[in-house]
Structures are given as structure tokens and as C-alpha cells.
Chain A
Amino acid sequence: GESVGLHLPTLSVQEGDNSIINCAYSNSASDYFIWYKQESGKGPQFIIDIRSNMDKRQGQRVTVLLNKTVKHLSLQIAATQPGDSAVYFCAENRRGGYNKLIFGAGTRLAVHP
């Protein structure tokens, strides 16, 4: 996939460390949130999702935290590996006339050995 944005924020971490990628969303009525990973030349790949009636959800090596009070979403990756290097997008299901997923600009995660 394309590098999204000329000035994508980049998070650099050492292999084995934990990574935390943050995302602010804008619509308090959004009821579903999702994190995607996009590697170069590929489409976005689902990582984990969470509904607005939850504040935490865990997957394999990943945890998503939702703070509706401040409209903040985070993705935590445990024991980051070189294969985790990619651009990560959060998306919110914005409710309106028609529901739609609105994607954030993305954060590039660079994992160094």
C-alpha cells in the first residue's frame, strides 16, 4: 500500500519491547472501532476490534483500549517483532445518515533489532 501522508508519525521501538500506538477519534456517537495493519504493497489487514460497550479487548499479543470520555483509542503490541513493522490505522464506525468507517491517518511502526 501507499505510504499514507507525507508526514506519517513514526514510532520506533526495539525488538522485544512493547509498543503503544494511539488514536484520537472525533465522533462521540461512534460505536465500533477497529485497528488495521498495512504492510508495503498490501491491503489493510484486520488486527482487532472493539465495540463501544467495552473498554478493553485482548487478542494474541495485542490489546485495544477504548476511553470514550476523551475519545481515545490505543493499540498495545507486546514483545514487538520485526514482522510488526507496518503502518497501523485506527478506524471508527461513524453513525449518521449512513454508517461508515472513517480511517485515521496512520502511524508507522518501525521495529529495530
Chain B
Amino acid sequence: DAGVIQSPRHEVTEMGQEVTLRCKPISGHDYLFWYRQTMMRGLELLIYFNNNVPIDDSGMPEDRFSAKMPNASFSTLKIQPSEPRDSAVYFCASSLRGTQETQYFGPGTRLLVL
């Protein structure tokens, strides 16, 4: 298996622009997680899905952030409009059956908002 796939790997955009991050989980995994990593706040859970349904989005910073999972093999995290404080590395992870199972992380998307 190729593991969790994320795209793009790097994104540089200007404040106010829309940013879309993409994730393909490991085939057969029922859970998908979106995390954000910054120097100041470390690794934070933003939202996670079970069988394509959002379960806990309490970590989503504000209404500018939205996430979807239209099918079992694809998820997006969208920021609109983006702000400089959104600059971070965004990771997608997937697990077979939930938070009590190993989560496998993708390589991350490094986002810089100017």
C-alpha cells in the first residue's frame, strides 16, 4: 500500500485566497483525521471522519475552515479566506477502526500564507 497520500506537498498563497488540501487515506481504513502542526501549538486534531461522516470537528479553528469526505478514498480540507496565521503543516492520517488504533500519517502539506 502506498500509505496516506496528501497533495500538494507545499502551498504558498496570499492572504484572502482559498486553499484546498487533499488526502487519500489507506484503502480499507474507516477513520480519517486532519491535524495541524505549528511551532507554538504542536500537533492538534482539527476534525475526524468515520465512514465518511464527520464525527468531531471541535478542533476546527473557525468558520473559515471546512472539511469534506465525499467518499472513502478522498477528503479535502479547505480554508477560505486564508490568513497568515493559518501557516502550518497540515497532516492527514487514517486508521483501521478508530482512535484506539494506530493512526498512519501522510507526509503533510506545508502551507505558507503571505
Contact = CB atoms under 8 A, between A and B. Distances in A.
Interface of A: 1-6, 31-32, 34, 36, 42-46, 49, 51, 89, 93, 97-106
Contacts of B43: 4, 44, 89, 103
Given A4-B39, A5-B39, A46-B104, 14 more contacts: A2-B38, A4-B37, A32-B100, A34-B103, A43-B105, A43-B107, A44-B43, A44-B105, A49-B102, A93-B100, A98-B55, A98-B56, A99-B98, A101-B99
Contact of A34 (B40, B42, B102): B102
Contacts of A104: 42
Best-surrounded residue of B4, B33, B42, B93 (most CB of chain A within 10 A): B42
Contact of B45 (A2, A5, A100): A100
B79 to A, nearest CB: 17
B77 to A, nearest CB: 15
A112 B3 CA distance: 31
B36 to A, nearest CB: 10
Nearest to B98: A99
Contacts of B48: 100
Nearest to B37: A2
Contact of B108 (A43, A89, A98, A99): A43
A99 to B, nearest CB: 4
B102 A93 contact: no
The 7 closest A-B pairs by CB, nearest first: A43-B105, A98-B56, A103-B43, A99-B99, A32-B100, A44-B105, A4-B42
